[in-house]
Amino acid sequence: MKMAARGGGGPAKMGEEKMLIRSEKVRLIDILSLLLLRRRPIASYHFVETGDHTADHVGSTPGEWLVALTEIIQKALAGAYYPAKYLGVAVEFFLNFVALNGGLLGIVWNIFRCKLVIPLNREAPNFRSMIAMIDGRTELKPLPAAAGAGVDDDVPLIRQQSLGSGGHLRLRDYSVLEVTVMAAKIAYENAAYIENVVNNVWKFNFVGFYSCWNKFIGSETTQAFVMADRAKDAAAIVVAFRGTEPFNMQDWSTDVNLSWLGMGDMGHVHAGFLKALGLQELDGKDAERAFPKDLPAGGGGAPAGKYFAYYKLRDVVREQLRKHPRASVVVTGHSLGGALAAAFPALLALHGEVDILGRLAAVHTYGQPRVGDATFAAFLRAAVPPAAAAVSSPLLRVVYRYDIVPRVPFDVPPVAEFKHGGACVYYDGWYSGRLLAAGEDVPNRNYFDPKYLLSMYGNAWGDLFKGMFLWLKEGHGYREGAVCIAFRAVGLVLPGLASHSLRDYVNAVRLGRIAPKEA
């Protein structure tokens, strides 16, 4: 992914550009070799598949220790797949069992009355995922009546407004940021839950929930929903992607994987995220073959009744824009969902979908992993309409503290040079944020820098205690339950994991303050 090899950011040279790491083929002896035989070229390993152009570029590059670390993590995630899956089912069943019966005393009382509720249907509108158990809030917080036009004042992020090509965008009484962070949060829930919240709590218009096919994994791995702020004459069509599910080790493995694919002018893009959206071929030479504008005959290999995320959502958005001629498009997601939210408009730009891109008003992501190289970041930035000020940029990432996910996949040049792009609000304190300068990365960019160890654990302890007592200052709406406090305690073992919680991202939007720029 080296820029010099790409003509200074211009179109890629002819030749196949890809680096695919087949983690299932990695052996212990390979990991030891990566760690100890540092002079062995990375392209010489049997589990690494490179294109001809890439092989010329990284052929003599030795294996980085971060590559070895990535494969150690991949092996651990693969081994934990089934235990984590069944643990997740058990934990969510137990938590819903307790919640739906009104607590432990309620269970006893319902047994006595023969009215015990057993949460066997995970698709019921009252069944909640682990994400909703950590943060059960569903109501949108209206904008303060005195919300002003300033974007650099020391005010909560909820009052920072997104500016698209059509100027000021506001969704009824709500900040666009408030809507996107809450949409990213409920995207983790089942279709019935989401529909109920959108229609009955927010009074928006639910369009549909979509579970989409991944031909390389052979299952529906990608979920998203679409809503409009009104059933008629909507101001915005919102696309929200589901992110990394806590007990889904396959999702975590995708976030960490270093494999990338050359996509022509779009740059080098994370292969796992492309697969999740509907990649057709692992072809690093012809972007049109890898991700064609229109699916080939037969539906691109998806089984009958199944569909690929990019193509399905593109069709849904087109139809909604025809139905609502004054509506803008807003895309959002948290974690893995944030990566898909960034890749989706980039693919629209690659395919020249000017009708949709011309009405794209905001791409807001929360705790988003890196998606591609510097060329991809520039390509995405060019696809999204500019704004008058960076903090009001339609292309905005929000990163809380030492959240582990925005620091993966690791940036390992020149083997895998993953970069973030666009405006970023980084919370380096307890809901105290700052706007990062162009090209500036978050501290501890690859997560394992030992000089940040004390700071990371200090943050974990501080967030735990502050979270327990935040409601005393901000009110009962910010009172954290036992599940949330327990999840914060996980950060004492693996700092940065608890910082990935959507509770902190919702709080950051509602309470977080952006330091004014220095003169």
Q: Which residues are catalytic?
A: 335, 403, 500
Q: Note if the bond before 386 is cis, omega within 30 degrees.
A: no
- AA identity, residue 502: L
Close Cβ partners of 145 (under 8 Å, ≥ 6 residues apart): none
Asked whether 76 and 83 are in contact (CB, 8 A), the reply is no
Q: Helices 336-350 and 309-323: crossing angle, nearest 10°?
A: 70
Q: What angle do CA 24, 369, 388 make, to 5 degrees?
A: 155
Joined tokens for residue 175: 């900040």
- AA identity, residue 466: K
| Spatial distance between the Cα atoms of 416 and 435, rounded to a whole number of angstroms | 26
Joined tokens for residue 460: 């974990």
- AA identity, residue 289: R
Nearest of 41, 11, 21 to residue 260 by alpha carbon? 21
| Spatial distance between the Cα atoms of 437 and 425, rounded to a whole number of angstroms | 10
**Beta-carbon count within 10 A of 17 CB:** 28
How far is the CA of 132 from the CAs of 175, 197, 246, 469, in angstroms?
A: 22, 12, 12, 20
Close Cβ partners of 218 (under 8 Å, ≥ 6 residues apart): none
Joined tokens for residue 512: 């977080």
Close Cβ partners of 297 (under 8 Å, ≥ 6 residues apart): none
| Spatial distance between the Cα atoms of 325 and 319, rounded to a whole number of angstroms | 10
Q: What angle do CA 4, 8, 12 make, to 5 degrees?
A: 85
